[in-house]
Every structure is written in C-alpha cells, then in structure tokens.
C-alpha cells in the first residue's frame, strides 16, 4: 500500500471484538443519550450505590456553576471499596504493583480497604477535618493511592502534586491550597537511580509555612532525609500504632462535596486548582471507563500514567476501583533496565488493556519491534492513547506491533477539567489513525469559529462542548471568576465550554485534534504553561525577561524553547545557558527543562505589553507570523 492509501485506511473491529462489546450500536445510544441527557445520566448513576438518592439530576440555576445529583448522599470510597467488601470482589486483586528494582506488592480489595482505613484513622488522629485540603507529593508507589483514598474516605480533599515537580511548583500548590498536612516519601526509583523527594518537600515547606504535619513513606532509605521533631512522622511508624486500627467509617458526603483539587497549567504563571466532586465524578469516570474500555470482571487493566495527573486520578485509581477491576501499576521508567520492561510486565501479569501516551509509544518504538516481539502479548485485547494527538505512524506501530493488529486503539481526548473521556472511540468504532473519533454519550461537541458558527468539514476551528456533563470541573479553587473567564466567557451567549484546543471534523463526523490555542504546552503529554517556565526563568538573578514557546518535537510533542533577556551586567555564555536550564529544573521539575535557550535583546510585544509568543514561534519555525498589526515595533 502507498503512504496516502495507508493514511486513508479505516480499521474495523474484528467480529470477536464486536461480539464482546457492551455497546454494539453507538449511533443509536448516542442519539438517545443527548436527547434525554438527564435520563441517561440518572440511569448510569443508578448503577452505583448511594446513601441517599439525589433529588435532582442536574441543577442549572447558577450557570456555569452546574450541580449534579443534587441532594444525593455518597462517598466515592463507598463505591470504590466499601461495597466490594460485601461481594466476592472482596477477595479479588485490586492492585498489582511493581517497583522499578523489581519488588512486587499485591493487594486484594480487602487488603487495600484495610490499608486505606488504617491511614484514614491516622489522618483523623492528626486532626484532619472533612473539607480540609491535604497535599500529597509522592513517587508512584502504592502508598500514593492509599493516601488519596484515605483522604476521600474521611471527606478530606486531596491535592496530589506530581512527584516529578520540584520546589517552587510544590510550594506554590501547598500555599494556594493552604494545606496543613503533607504526605510524601523519602524518594523513589527512576532509571536505576534514587530520586530524593523529601529534600524537595523540606525546601518547599520552608517557602510555604502552612504545613504542620508531614508524613513520610520510607521507600529508598536515604541518609540526607531531615525530619523535624513534632512536624515529621514516618508512615510505617504511624501505621504500626494502635490508633491505625483495621477499620474506619466512611464519611458521608454530599454529591457536590469536593473530592480533590488537581492543579493544572493555564495561561498565567499561577496554576489552577481544578475542583472535582464525589458524586458526578464517580458517575462520569465509571461510565466512560465501562463503555470505552469495555471493562469486565476478568480484566487486568494497566494505565501507565502517573497517579499525579488527571489520567492517573480517573483511570488508575477511581474508575477501575469503582468497576472492581484489577489495576496494574509500575513505579519506574518504561525502558529500564531494557526497552522490553513494559512488554515483559504485560506478559508476566497477563495484562488485557494497556493505556498510555503517544510520547511513551514513540519512545519505545525507537528501539525497534524486536523488543516487543520477544514477548507473548496475546493477553492484550484493547489499547488506549491519551494526552496529545497521536501521529499515524506511531498509531500503526502500536496497533500492528504491540496489538498484533487485533486490538482496537481507544484514542481518548479529554482534560483535567473534564474529569473523564469526552471524544473517544468505543471498541466497535471503525478507527482512523490519529482521530479521537466521536463524542462520548451525552456530549454535544463542535468545532466552531469565533462567532460560534460550525466549521465546514475539514476546516480548522475551536473545540467547544455545548452541554454540561457530570464529570465537569466545578470551579477553580479560590478563583471562581477565573473559572468563568477561562472556560465560559468566549461563548457566553451560547453557554458553551471552551476547551482551549483547535480541531477539525471530517465528512464522517470524526474529530481530529490539532493542539492548544493558548499558551499551554504538551511536553511528553505533560501539561505546562509558557508563563510557568517564564516565571521560573525570571526568578534567576541574571534574567530580566523571558518568553517560552513550544516547538514541534518528533518524540515529545512539544520541545521548550526559551528566549531570555539578560540583565545589563550579564554576558551570554554556554555556562549561563546550562545554569538557566538547570534553574528551571530546580524550580519546576525535569519535564520543564528547556531544550534551547536563546539570548535576545528584545521580545516582540503588543502595545499593551503582552509578549507575542505566536510571533516567536513563527520566526523559530521559519513561517509567516501572520497578523502583526498589534506589534509594538
């Protein structure tokens, strides 16, 4: 087949896939779900147990602050753990975890629930109250999941800060959440090395002094792990004390009570604390997971993301537990010690569904197919992709080599703010490589121009969601105005949600995501703001001003390029460049390290003083910068 024929090829699901699928007729069910949206969501919600049923499915009286399942009493832990203890699921494996050095831990639902109860008791003993925000900063170890679930169980709100973030990123998030309790670890393993976290946590606690209690898991046993008397406690010591017990009551929460805050990058330097709730989030993550990955009791599910991002929250932790699935989790790098690490684990644990990012796929594809082919991957039934557009070449490698042309790829488009999948195939959907295909049930999604007119097939426009859904973010912590401004202002008249992405819809109604329309970068699938990188750079004493842009990168999606104006007395040098790159790593984390730093004398700005990153980007890529009439000079 020629390349262009290849690109047009549609991949139809096999008879076997169709026979097994929960939903056979997407079109009919979709139509039903948008015509009777509230009835659809009420039916889904009825699959969960509620302490008290809701009075109203959707409350639209204070748009855009929608409320779902109003009057309902629940707790996500009741559905994720407690109810399973009443059935045979109690003895099922909830979590298989493998550390990078090869250590293994396995928890049944009963054991996981017991550990969660014990830690819930510890938190209660530390005075943690319902509604209080607890910050969690950990490597990918089971205790991270246990800590999240324990917070939820007592009605506290968790704020997980990705373990790859550094001092300033952590300090800023602790401060915004006004957290009194921090849960961390001495460190974790990455690429055969010990990564120390407690030192970063200590430094962050110096910068944001709200923390009174810090609980640390001993994972790597490091020497320079300073513990302050009366503030610092070891996890294992607390869990070994009588106060931990073996069982704990689950706090009854309102459907609309906050479950967690997750910080994500936006267009300003200050990260946004996106708020999700117990009720709607339970329903939405459960429903999307059930239909899209067609999850069945016998499945072993592996979402190879970090629990510190939304993908991990929704689809490592909550949705799989609600569905009573078996979760696989792995601590370290995909290619350590060799590029077959993932494939050996798929084989060893008999994984049925693998969900990961295009960057990870491209990264492993680089090593060639033989690393995959050595392993028996016949257990795989479905594959998934998330975080950035997947290029057709990587899609086909994933499909043909990893999935042996047997496993449909669920390319799921969604965001921290949406809580769960928004545009996604189902197993029965004919697939086009690179397209996230069609809206999930209940959602009317469109690509429009500035005035809100739908674009013609094939034309690029702005992606909007035209209706509320149960998994939607409720607000931004401490900043409801920003919530309105960022997501609801652009199409205020129509009442549509602005996703911040551009996209195309083709003749068959398939969605093709192009990328962000704001100053948000996707580096290896991780979300970062230009402004965060810029403020890290200007916090260095040699820098006056900085602009950061994302340029297309074959492996990572975006590569960060930064333009820096130095203070007058400073001279550009290779050493200074290296120092600035390291400074960004120290402040934000390794994922934010600029690939290139360019010293300049001035930056293109609008007359009102805003940096025109678009112009820098066009220049760097040798393209026409477009309309520059607002440029200052």
Judged by CB under 6 A, does residue 501 bind ligand WTA?
yes
Residue 153 and residue 531: Cα distance in Å, rounded? Answer: 36
Judged by DSSP in three states, 470 sits in coil
CA distances 242 to 235, 245, 247, Å, are: 14, 6, 12
Binding to ligand WTA (CB under 6 A) within 404-463 occurs at: 411-416, 436
Judged by CB under 6 A, does residue 311 bind ligand WTA?
yes
At residue 627's C-alpha, the angle toward residues 622 and 632, to 5°, is 95
Q: Report the residue number, 239 or 304, with the smaller CB distance to ligand WTA.
A: 304
Selected from 386, 448, 549, 580, the binder of ligand WTA by CB under 6 A is 386
Judged by CB under 6 A, does residue 364 bind ligand WTA?
no
Choose the stretch contacting ligand WTA; rule: CB under 6 A; options: 132-140, 284-292, 386-394, 541-549.
386-394
What is the CB neighbour count within 10 angstroms for residue 178? 13
User: Closest approach of Cβ 388 to ligand WTA, in Å?
Assistant: 5
Tell me, residue by residue from 255 to 294, as one string, x for binding to ligand WTA by CB under 6 A and - for no binding.
---------x------------------------------
Judged by DSSP in three states, 144 sits in helix
What is the CB neighbour count within 10 angstroms for residue 34? 15
User: Closest approach of Cβ 2 to ligand WTA, in Å?
Assistant: 26
At residue 149's C-alpha, the angle toward residues 148 and 151, to 5°, is 70
Choose the stretch contacting ligand WTA; rule: CB under 6 A; options: 181-189, 213-221, 380-388, 442-450.
380-388
Closest CA to 109 of 130, 139, 133, 86: 86
Selected from 310, 346, 428, 465, the binder of ligand WTA by CB under 6 A is 310
User: Closest approach of Cβ 272 to ligand WTA, in Å?
Assistant: 10
DSSP states along 104-116: EEEEEHHHHHHHH
User: Closest approach of Cβ 550 to ligand WTA, in Å?
Assistant: 11
Place of tokens 């393209």: 623
User: Please, what sign has the CA dihedral across residues 163, 165, 167, 169?
Assistant: negative
Token duo for residue 54? 């809701």
Q: For the chain, what is the radius of gyration of the CA atoms? A: 24
Selected from 164, 279, 387, 420, the binder of ligand WTA by CB under 6 A is 387
User: Closest approach of Cβ 292 to ligand WTA, in Å?
Assistant: 12
Chain position whose Cβ is nearest to ligand WTA? 416
Residue 173 and residue 208: Cα distance in Å, rounded? Answer: 9
Residue 154 and residue 120: Cα distance in Å, rounded? Answer: 6
CA distances 594 to 44, 548, 559, 617, Å, are: 44, 8, 7, 14
User: Closest approach of Cβ 229 to ligand WTA, in Å?
Assistant: 39
Choose the stretch contacting ligand WTA; rule: CB under 6 A; options: 208-216, 335-343, 480-488, 496-504.
496-504
User: Closest approach of Cβ 527 to ligand WTA, in Å?
Assistant: 4
Choose the stretch contacting ligand WTA; rule: CB under 6 A; options: 34-42, 128-136, 303-311, 597-605.
303-311
Contacts with ligand WTA, residue ranges (CB under 6 A): 264, 309-311, 386-389, 411-416, 436, 499-501, 513, 516, 522, 527
């Amino acid at each position: 087949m020629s390349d262009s024929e290849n690109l047009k090829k549609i991949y139809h699901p096999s008879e076997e896939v169709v026979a097994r699928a929960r939903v056979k007729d997407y079109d009919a069910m979709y139509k039903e779900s948008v015509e009777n949206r509230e009835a659809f969501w009420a039916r889904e919600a009825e699959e969960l147990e509620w302490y008290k049923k809701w009075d109203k499915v959707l409350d639209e009286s204070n748009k855009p602050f929608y409320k779902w399942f109003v009057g309902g009493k629940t707790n996500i832990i009741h559905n994720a753990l407690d109810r399973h203890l009443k059935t045979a699921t109690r003895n099922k494996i909830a979590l298989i975890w493998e550390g990078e050095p090869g250590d293994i831990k396995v928890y049944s639902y009963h054991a996981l629930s017991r550990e969660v109860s014990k830690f819930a008791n510890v938190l209660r003993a530390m005075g943690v109250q319902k509604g209080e925000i607890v910050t969690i900063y950990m490597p990918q170890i089971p205790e991270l999941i246990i800590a999240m679930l324990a917070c939820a169980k007592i009605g506290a709100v968790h704020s997980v800060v990705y373990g790859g973030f550094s001092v300033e990123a952590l300090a800023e998030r602790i401060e915004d959440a006004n957290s009194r309790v921090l849960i961390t670890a001495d460190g974790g393993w990455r690429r055969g090395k010990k990564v120390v976290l407690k030192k970063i946590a200590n430094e962050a606690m110096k910068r944001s002094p709200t923390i009174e209690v810090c609980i640390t898991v001993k994972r790597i046993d490091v020497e320079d792990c300073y513990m302050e008397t009366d503030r610092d406690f070891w996890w294992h010591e607390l869990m070994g004390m009588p106060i931990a017990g073996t069982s704990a009551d689950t706090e009854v929460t309102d459907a609309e009570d906050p479950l967690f805050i997750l910080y994500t990058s936006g267009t300003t330097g200050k990260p946004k604390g996106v708020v999700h709730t117990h009720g709607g989030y339970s329903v939405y993550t459960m429903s999307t997971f059930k239909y899209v990955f067609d999850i069945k009791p016998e499945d072993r599910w592996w979402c190879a993301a970090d629990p510190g991002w939304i993908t991990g929250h929704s689809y490592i932790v909550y949705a799989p537990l609600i569905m009573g699935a078996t979760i696989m989790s792995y601590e370290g790098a995909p290619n350590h010690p060799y590029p077959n690490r993932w494939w050996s684990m798929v084989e060893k644990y008999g994984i049925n569904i693998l969900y990961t990012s295009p960057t990870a796929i491209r990264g492993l594809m680089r090593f060639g197919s033989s690393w995959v082919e050595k392993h028996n991957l016949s257990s795989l039934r479905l594959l998934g992709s998330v975080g950035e557009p997947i290029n057709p070449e990587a899609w086909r490698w994933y499909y043909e080599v990893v999935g042996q042309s047997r496993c449909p790829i669920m390319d799921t488009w969604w965001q921290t703010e949406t809580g769960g999948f928004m545009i996604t195939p189902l197993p029965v959907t004919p697939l086009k490589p690179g397209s996230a295909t069609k809206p999930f049930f209940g959602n009317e999604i469109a690509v429009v121009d500035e005035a809100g007119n739908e674009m013609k097939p094939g034309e690029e426009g702005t992606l909007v969601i035209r209706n509320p859904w149960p998994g939607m973010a409720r607000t931004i912590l401490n900043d409801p105005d920003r919530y309105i401004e960022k997501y609801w202002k652009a199409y205020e008249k129509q009442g549509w949600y602005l996703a911040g992405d551009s996209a195309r819809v083709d003749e068959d109604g398939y969605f093709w995501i192009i990328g962000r329309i704001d100053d948000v970068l996707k580096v290896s699938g991780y979300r970062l703001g230009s402004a965060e990188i810029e403020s890290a750079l200007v916090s260095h004493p040699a820098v006056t001003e900085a602009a950061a842009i994302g340029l297309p990168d074959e492996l990572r999606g975006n590569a960060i390029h930064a333009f820096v104006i130095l203070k007058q007395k400073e001279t550009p040098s290779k050493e200074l460049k290296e120092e600035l790159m390291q400074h960004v790593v120290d402040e934000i984390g390794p994922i934010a390290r600029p690939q290139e730093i360019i010293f300049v004398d001035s930056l293109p700005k609008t007359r009102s003083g805003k940096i025109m990153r678009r112009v820098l980007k066009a220049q760097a890529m040798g393209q026409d910068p477009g309309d520059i009439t607002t440029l200052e000079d």
